[in-house]
């Protein structure tokens, strides 16, 4: 059943005028506007904009936002969230095994360098004898003294400078550990030199000072003397 668009009376024929008001039936697309006209069963008429190409029909629920706006975050919650993200994780103490392997690797490297010192010192003495044509008295003792002085200087400088520069010798970098201050910061050069000098204390009593690192604190005797600790380096190297 179709109703009249003017008075709402039911129309008996599709092409006949309204029997109640005499108005001719107006087609839905001929209402004098560019908008389609739809006749509702209750006599009401609604008009809508014609759809463009590729456009989907609109519905009443389209006016409702798809998602509710998020409530503004207060300053305290935002600060706490960023603090949790930026909070650095406490580095894990290096195990005794890692420290021992790193130290052995450093000693092997220094031994190779000591061999180079012996070769250089011996070559220097032989060259001096060839140039002067005289035999250098006590050549063996001279070479031994030069090598001993050079070895001590190399040992002291190797550990002191590298541990102050990056906290890592070659052995420690290989084992992914480093020396740091108690607060986790870099070790100053004087503090690093004191730590290197304290190796001599740790070697007393058959290396008992090194074995102190087996305790829960995982710090050796030279760490206590210099105020340092050795930690693991995660995600680096």
- 96-132 vs 139-165: helix axis angle to the nearest 10? 140
Residue 156 φ then ψ, to 5°:
-65, -45
Give the model's pLDDT for residue 31. 46
User: For residue 94, what are the contacts with CB-CB under 8 A and spacing of at least 6?
Assistant: 175, 177, 218, 230, 231, 232
Give the model's pLDDT for residue 143. 82
CA distance 237 to 231: 14
Query: Could you tell me the CA-to-CA distances from 176 to 55, 77, 87 in Å, in that order?
Result: 62, 37, 22
CA gyration radius, the chain: 46
Burial class (CB in 10 A: 0-12, 13-18, 19+), 186: middle
Give the model's pLDDT for residue 122. 87
CA distance 166 to 179: 8
pTM of the model as a whole:
0.60
Structure tokens at 73: 């975050």
Structure tokens at 210: 């090194």
| Domain parsing of the chain, residue ranges | 96-232
For the chain of 237 residues, list the mean pLDDT of each consecutive stretch of 10: 69 68 56 49 54 58 55 65 60 94 97 92 83 73 85 95 95 96 94 96 90 94 96 72
Give the model's pLDDT for residue 85. 54
Give the model's pLDDT for residue 32. 47
Give the model's pLDDT for residue 30. 44
Q: Are 180 and 186 in contact (CB under 8 A)?
A: yes
DSSP letters spanning 5-59: TTT-PEESSSSSPPTTT-PPPPPTT-SSSSS-EEE-TTS-EEE-PPPPTTPPPP-
User: For residue 158, what are the contacts with CB-CB under 8 A and spacing of at least 6?
Assistant: 106, 110, 169
Give the model's pLDDT for residue 29. 43
């Amino acid at each position: 059943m179709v109703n009249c668009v003017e008075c709402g009376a039911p129309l008996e024929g599709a092409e006949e005028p309204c029997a109640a008001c005499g108005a001719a039936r107006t087609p839905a697309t001929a209402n004098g506007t560019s908008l389609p006209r739809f006749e509702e069963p209750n006599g009401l008429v609604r008009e809508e904009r014609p759809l463009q190409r590729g456009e989907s029909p609109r519905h009443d629920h389209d006016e409702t936002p798809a998602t509710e706006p998020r409530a503004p975050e207060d300053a305290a919650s935002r600060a706490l969230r960023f603090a949790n993200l930026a909070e650095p994780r406490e580095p894990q103490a290096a195990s005794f095994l890692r420290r021992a392997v790193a130290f052995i690797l450093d000693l092997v490297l220094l031994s190779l360098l000591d061999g180079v010192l012996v070769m250089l010192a011996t070559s220097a003495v032989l060259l001096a004898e060839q140039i002067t044509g005289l035999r250098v008295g006590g050549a063996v003792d001279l070479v031994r003294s030069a090598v001993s002085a050079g070895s001590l200087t190399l040992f002291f400088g190797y550990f002191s400078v590298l541990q102050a520069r990056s906290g890592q010798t070659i052995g420690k970098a290989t084992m992914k550990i480093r020396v740091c201050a108690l607060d986790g910061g870099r070790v100053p050069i004087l503090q690093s030199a004191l730590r290197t000098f304290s190796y001599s204390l740790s070697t007393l009593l058959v290396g008992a000072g090194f074995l102190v690192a087996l305790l829960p604190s995982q710090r050796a005797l030279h760490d206590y003397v210099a105020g340092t600790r050795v930690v693991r380096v995660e995600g680096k190297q």
